[in-house]
Amino acid sequence: MTIKPIKNERSPNDVDRLVGLNVRRLRKERDMTLVDLAKELDISHQQLQKYETGANRLSAGMISNLSRVLSVPIETLFATSAKAARGRSPSSKQDALRQQGIYWLERTRSEATLQRMVDILKVLGTKP
């Protein structure tokens, strides 16, 4: 007689793995290391790696923190893998770049630095 282990209802599932993959993709798009993002989330880089690989489940609070720190709507963390894996159209590439820009602008603590960033964006935005 073979005894099957009882599946723990709190074990990671496909949605946890999908969110983890999206967190990893967004982190890499922002040129962040595991340590960088983990520090902002106030968790260990090992714990973040477990989230990214789908080894551990993400709580609602952690999903909210990830959304805030990565500067993306929560639903972005749940984007289907097919959607995330597909080649991006030019407009979605621009959307991703805009999200990265928002991310860095929101992280700027110095008013003087923020003003310089805005001035640079103005100059670049007026170039053909």
Using one digit for the tens of pLDDT, what is the confidence trace for 40-59?
999 999 999 999 999 999 99
| Contact by Cβ (8 Å): 46, 57 | no
Q: For residue range 99-120, what is the model confidence (pLDDT) as tens digits?
A: 778 888 888 889 999 899 888 8
The enclosing domain of 69 has a CATH number of 1.10.260.40
The answer on 126 and 91 residing in a single domain is: yes
Give the amino acid at 6.
Answer: I
Mean local confidence (pLDDT), 1-8: 55
d(C-alpha 65, C-alpha 40), whole Å? 9
Q: What is the pTM of this model?
A: 0.65
The answer on 98 and 82 residing in a single domain is: no
The answer on 126 and 68 residing in a single domain is: no
- Ranking 8-12, 26-30, 103-107 by mean pLDDT, the lowest is 8-12
